[in-house]
Amino acid sequence: MKKIKYILISLLFCTFSYSLINEQPTTQAFSAQILERGAYGDDVIELQARLQYIGFYKSEIDGKFGYSTYWALRNFQEKYGLPIDGLLGEDTKKKLVGVSDYNKEFVHEQINKGNSFTHYGGVDLDKQVKNKKAESTNMQLPPQYSEKDLKLIANAVYGEARGEPYEGQVAVAAVILNRIEHPDFPNTVSEVIFQPLAFTAVADGQIWLEPNERAKEAVLDALNGWDPTENAIYYFNPDTATSEWIWSRPQIKTIGQHIFCA
Amino acid sequence: MKKIIWVIVSSVAVVFLMYHFSVQSQNNRLENALAVQYSNQLTSASEKLTKLTESVDQTMLFTDKEALEQPLDDVWRISSDIRTSISSLPISSETSTVWMNYLNRLGNGAAQVKNGEVPIEEWQKNMVSTRENLQALSDQWAFTNKDGGNKDYIVTAFVQNKLDKNGEKNWKSLGNSVKAYTESDFPMTASETDQQKKKDLQHIKDSEITEDEAKEQFVKLFPEFKDAKIHITESSQDAPYPFYHIEFHEGIRIGYADLTKKGGHILSFLLERPFEKTTITVQQMKDKSAEYMKTLGFTDTELVEYRENSVAWHLSFARKDENNDALIYADGIQLKIAKDNGELLGLNAMEYIQKEKIGKQEIVPLDNVGLFSSNFYIEEERLAYVENKQLEQRLAYQVLAKNDSIGTYKIYIDTENHEILHADKLP
């Protein structure tokens, strides 16, 4: 009888331990970083998922600490009597982890698959996955530009200048942006890029090549204001240019294989 | 005889192969031209739909009639514009008609609200779902290339659809409908850019520095590159303002810096290097940025925003008016700071060199209640200088307003006449 009791207690202990171990991987804690508006990454994903779990955050879980996350965090801090500063510090993290849950595996799987999903508590997770969302670059941009702009310009930069130095790639992106501001050119990214014979990469189909991270980073710098061309609106490769006219443009500087002109 | 037959057969085969490859190459060119045309139309329609959504959002911000006028006009104008774009897309007539009618109703609705025929409250109620529909369609039509290097998958379907409908294999007749782009299409008129800041740079009055002085100035600003290989070139004679282009290379770091020839002011600086996976804290990054700004002599500025990305933070600073602490966005500076160790990766000070001339302006108190919709909450308010439509710097109330479903807006309202100068949606 004692043996049976012993076995039963051991079994119960094992089951309890297993359930604890099994639950652990789904409840991840934050790193030591203090997060605030402008932050990006896995900690922000966890913050958004936890805030959504308890109903404070209703927007997309994308790892970008924008205003939606900021207001949600402030509302959470207000409700739980924490200092309302919109910062994810130690006390707020502790409270948030205590009152919410986070299924890291589920959240990251959906993000990697590009699915549109939510992470509300008390709702079956399977029912919270919707169709594929629009393609995302996972980059934080100045408010006046969209991810669609970055995507299209990165394709153009990669198609036009992937063999150029980094400065030369930022420069090509800057020329596209300078054209949008210039009265002689169209006013949108797509119209500038697809303007007839404006870019070789469009004419020969290289615009559809998938850009690498370097090209995207170069575009990101241009969108943030860098312009190594000092306001150029044209560029050409002197070894391959066939147009006589392009030589008549006032030249500004040479970067890599390209001469940039006003 | 056999030889003659062999020569004839070979010649025919060669001619056939040449013809085949010529036709194939022509087909590829035409297919590409058609794909470019459709991509342009689709992406353009997508961009316009996003603009329309933004304008619809702005009609939900205000209740004041004057403040609503511009966004309602924009909804009417852009919806009409998109109808034209949609009509030229090779989508099914049923889908096209549904969307054209939808946009027609939207444009008419905006006009009715503007004319006072429909109450703004009713419009704002209806727009909650409309904005979501518009954004969903915009996302669907955005430029994309899936499966690594293949043409836009929607465009490919369009091109195929067009080909199937024509029942042709050589694209001959399609060639007539696709614009044959020639050298004459290249934009021939390029006037001097009229950007104000560039004009300002042309008028710097400081004395010119030599190439050696430019190098000294570079090393003074960035002493960590004192041992770097440096190559300096002068801007071309035709450049709108003269500058020195300094290319540097030290170990894994490679980059450039541009300095004005007059006065040796730093225009921009950018370097590239591989990155470690470590990340410094946000506070460390802020401390570093403050240190850089002090060392570089930009002490009259304030950090207005920063954005973290995979390898670096991008920070924006604006000059602060010493009289009223208002931010002068036109005198901005941008920094790029490495996430792994806080190193300064980039600096853009082009706009800061020639400071804006700020005039005196009256500050008339603002009635937020009468201006904004009741479901928008004002969270912050401060003063800032921004451009109006006449490109004049105007002192404005910078108001941060939020709505749970529409989002957060930064709105600039002229302090003197309460004109809405800008309304920017924040991410």
Q: Quick one: pLDDT at residue B64?
A: 87
CA B206, CA B219: separation in Å to the nearest integer?
A: 20
Question: Same domain for B176 and B207?
Answer: no
> In this structure, what token pair is assigned to residue B148?
């690594």
| CB burial of residue B191 (10 Å; 0-12, 13-18, 19+) | exposed
- Mean of the pLDDT values across residues B394-404? 93
Question: Same domain for B121 and B235?
Answer: no
Number of domains in chain B: 3
Question: What are A81-97's pLDDT values in tens digits?
Answer: 999 999 999 999 999 99
Question: What are A129-160's pLDDT values in tens digits?
Answer: 987 666 666 789 998 888 889 999 999 999 99
- Judge whether residue B189 has pLDDT over 50: no
φ and ψ at B373, to 5 degrees? -60, 150
Is position B187 within any domain? no
- Mean of the pLDDT values across residues A13-17? 53
Q: A222: number of CA atoms within 13 Å, CB side?
A: 30
CB contact under 8 A, A38 and B194: no
CB contact under 8 A, A67 and B426: yes
Question: Same domain for B43 and B159?
Answer: yes
φ and ψ at B230, to 5 degrees? -120, 135
- CATH number of the domain at B114, please: 1.20.120
Could you tell me the pLDDT band of residue A169, with boundaries at 50, 70 and 90? very high
**Per-residue buried b or exposed e for A18-37, using 16+ beta carbons within 10 Å of the residue's own CB:** eeeeeeeeeebebeebbbbb
Is position B360 within any domain? no
Identify the domain containing residue B48 by its residue range.
10-181
Question: Same domain for B315 and B374?
Answer: no
Is the model more confident about B288 or about B104? B288
Computed from CA positions of residues A197, A201, A207, A211, in that sequence, does the dihedral angle turn out positive or negative?
A: negative
Question: What are B28-68's pLDDT values in tens digits?
Answer: 777 778 778 888 888 888 888 888 998 999 999 988 888 89
CA A156, CA A152: separation in Å to the nearest integer?
A: 6
Question: Same domain for B289 and B373?
Answer: no
Question: Same domain for B77 and B18?
Answer: yes
Contact predicate B313/B339, CB 8 Å: yes
Q: What is the ipTM of this complex?
A: 0.83
Question: Same domain for B300 and B205?
Answer: yes
Is position B188 within any domain? no
Question: Same domain for B176 and B213?
Answer: no
Beta-carbon contacts of residue B191 (< 8 Å; ≥ 6 apart): A183, A184
Question: Among B148, B238, B279, whose Cβ lies nearest the Cβ of A210?
Answer: B148
Nearest chain A alpha carbon to B242? A252
Q: State the Cα angle at A182 between A152 and B359, rounded to 5°.
A: 120
Question: Same domain for B374 and B331?
Answer: no
Domains in chain A: ranges and CATH: 27-132 (1.10.101.10), 147-261 (1.10.10.2520)
Phi-psi region of B89 (alpha: psi -120 to 50; beta: other; left: phi over 0): beta
CB contact under 8 A, A198 and B187: yes
CB contact under 8 A, B192 and A262: yes
Is position B3 within any domain? no
A vs B, Cβ pairs < 8 A, gives 225
Is position B194 within any domain? no
Question: Same domain for B158 and B36?
Answer: yes
Is position B363 within any domain? no
